[in-house]
């Protein structure tokens, strides 16, 4: 087996049956090439005296779903047309390998390809212990509650969604494609560590404005939030510490490809329903149809169709899937507390001071949010700050410290929200939590 070099014109002529006298090429064995090199042969190395790759009788496409899913790659349409012509002629065996055949069946058969499955089921490589189905809005709660031990990687449907989650999840960094105009130099350190060592770095650098100047602050990295650029192209080793992946794409292709970056068994795969405006423009697309299938499952756990596309990724059957969704008001209040008042794991002394609750305006703001998000039926004028603190501890699972400190030349009593345990939320029957 050898790697094909696009400069090797002699072997292409041999494949095209243009040169019968190149016997020495017969010992070259199996040739390996990428999709772009095949497109280069189709586009630039045809001739009127031969036929494209006539002497190649078996063509194997690894990750063959890309032929239908990665249409953004230049020349993919030409490859599809060539495959169809070869199938019609019957001169070759065209074999495709993929862990996500759903998109091949969906797009291939709709475009006139006859697809014969060699395996009844997808052969699993590694399995996750648990699958959780939720919504995009519930992701910050799941991460900050501490239920997902170890590091977590999240794949979002857009860059804006990445930064929405980052604003609500401590110790998180964003990484996007180098081709994006929103790629930042500080992302190089994360990207290079993944590419070079197949692990996530322990820390990342975040730009902070200090006295009117931008400085890079070193912070512990617990959660990496990325776009579909991380769907393939790298591998993670167990030493990476990544134990959970969260996919905001609900289709089998993206979930399988993203989970497949980990070359070991994961603890948890989370699939999160996410609004994508493009669904309205292309309702018959593979992604839109798969999202509707996921919606049906979330509304009725007896809808089995969606789970069949990801069943090979987990060590349990459909009845082992956990479906967990916070109500919209619960999401808003918990996100507000976690973003503004919950102390990050690696918080500096200055960050802890900022989150100390002692000012009357801060207490009033928290009480108002508590009422605005309908966490109580008591009118605002009768709500006390101590009552809200009791609800944070008793109903929501927060740990709140009290202390006294000299602040602004006076001794002040303050509250500090230092941790979060979602088990207490689930156990409280009065909290308006929606667990399906």
Q: Is 151 helix (H, G, I), strand (E, B) or coil?
A: strand
Confidence (pLDDT) at 271: 96
Kindly tell me if the per-residue pLDDT of 101 is higher than 80: no
pLDDT in tens, 225-260: 999 888 887 899 999 999 999 999 999 889 998 999
Whole-number Å distance between alpha carbons of 161 and 174? 10
Q: Give the residue-averaged pLDDT of 158-174.
A: 92
Confidence (pLDDT) at 22: 56
Q: Give the residue-averaged pLDDT of 275-296.
A: 82
pLDDT band at 429 (very low <50, low <70, confident <90, very high): very low
pLDDT band at 431 (very low <50, low <70, confident <90, very high): very low
Q: Give the residue-averaged pLDDT of 399-419.
A: 89
Whole-number Å distance between alpha carbons of 210 and 215? 7
Around Cβ 352, how many Cβ atoms within 10 Å? 13
Kindly tell me if the per-residue pLDDT of 394 is higher than 70: yes
- Reading phi first (left if > 0) and then psi (alpha if -120 to 50, else beta), residue 107 is in alpha
The answer to whether the beta carbons of residues 74 and 36 sit under 8 Å apart is yes
Whole-number Å distance between alpha carbons of 227 and 248? 9
Q: Give the residue-averaged pLDDT of 324-349.
A: 79
Kindly state the DSSP code that residue 355 receives in the 8-state scheme: T
Mean pLDDT score across all residues of the chain:
83
What is the model's pTM? Answer: 0.67
Whole-number Å distance between alpha carbons of 289 and 300? 17
Q: Give the residue-averaged pLDDT of 178-196.
A: 90
Confidence (pLDDT) at 85: 85
Kindly state the DSSP code that residue 51 receives in the 8-state scheme: -
pLDDT in tens, 27-39: 666 778 888 888 8
Q: Give the residue-averaged pLDDT of 209-220.
A: 78
Confidence (pLDDT) at 111: 63
Q: Which of 21-30, 150-159, 308-317 is the most confident on average?
A: 150-159
Q: Which whole-number Å values give the CA distances from 118 to 83, 98, 248, in the listed order? A: 18, 11, 30
Which residue carries 């928290």 as its tokens? Answer: 366
List, in order of start, the domains of the chain with CATH numbers.
2-110 (no CATH), 130-323 (3.40.50.300), 328-427 (no CATH)
Kindly tell me if the per-residue pLDDT of 436 is higher than 60: no
Q: Looking at per-residue confidence, does 24 or 257 come out higher?
A: 257
Kindly tell me if the per-residue pLDDT of 430 is higher than 60: no
pLDDT in tens, 263-284: 999 999 999 999 887 777 777 7
Which one, of 32, 84, 80, 88, lies nearest residue 56 by Cα? Answer: 32
């Amino acid at each position: 087996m050898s790697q094909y070099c696009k400069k090797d014109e002699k072997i292409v002529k041999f494949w095209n049956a243009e040169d019968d006298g190149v016997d020495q090429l017969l010992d070259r064995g199996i040739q390996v090439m990428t999709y772009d090199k095949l497109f280069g042969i189709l586009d630039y190395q045809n001739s009127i005296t031969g036929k494209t790759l006539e002497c190649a009788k078996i063509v194997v496409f690894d990750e063959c779903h890309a032929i239908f899913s990665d249409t953004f790659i230049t020349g993919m349409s030409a490859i599809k047309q060539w495959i169809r012509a070869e199938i019609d002629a019957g001169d070759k065996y065209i074999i495709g390998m993929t862990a996500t055949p759903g998109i091949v069946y969906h797009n291939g058969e709709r475009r006139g390809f006859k697809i014969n499955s060699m395996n009844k089921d997808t052969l699993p490589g590694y399995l996750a212990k648990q699958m959780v189905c939720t919504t995009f809005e519930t992701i910050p709660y799941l991460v900050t509650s501490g239920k997902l031990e170890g590091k977590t990687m999240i794949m979002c449907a857009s860059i804006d969604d990445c930064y929405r989650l980052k604003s609500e999840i401590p110790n998180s960094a964003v990484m996007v494609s180098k081709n994006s105009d929103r790629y930042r130099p500080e992302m190089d350190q994360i990207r290079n560590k993944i590419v070079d060592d197949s692990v996530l770095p322990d820390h990342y650098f975040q730009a902070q404005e200090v006295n009117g100047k931008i400085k890079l602050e070193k912070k512990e990295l617990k959660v990496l939030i990325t776009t579909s650029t991380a769907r393939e192209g790298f591998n993670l080793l167990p030493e990476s510490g990544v134990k959970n992946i969260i996919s905001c794409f609900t289709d089998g292709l993206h979930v399988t490809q993203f989970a497949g970056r980990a070359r070991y068994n994961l603890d948890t795969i989370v699939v999160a329903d996410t609004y994508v405006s493009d669904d309205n423009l292309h309702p018959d697309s593979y992604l839109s149809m798969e999202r509707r299938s996921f919606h049906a499952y979330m509304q009725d756990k007896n809808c089995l169709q969606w789970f069949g596309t990801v069943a090979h990724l987990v060590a349990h059957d459909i009845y082992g899937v956990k479906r967990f969704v916070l109500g919209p008001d619960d999401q808003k209040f918990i996100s507000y507390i976690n973003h503004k008042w919950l102390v990050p794991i690696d918080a500096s002394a200055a960050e802890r001071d900022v989150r100390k609750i002692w000012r009357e305006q801060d207490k009033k703001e928290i009480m108002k949010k508590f009422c605005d998000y309908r966490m109580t039926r008591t009118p605002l004028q009768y709500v006390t700050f101590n009552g809200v603190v009791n609800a944070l501890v008793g109903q929501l699972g927060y740990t709140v410290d009290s202390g006294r400190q000299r602040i602004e030349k006076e001794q002040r009593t303050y509250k500090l929200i230092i941790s979060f345990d979602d088990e207490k939320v689930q156990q409280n029957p009065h909290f308006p939590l929606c667990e399906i």
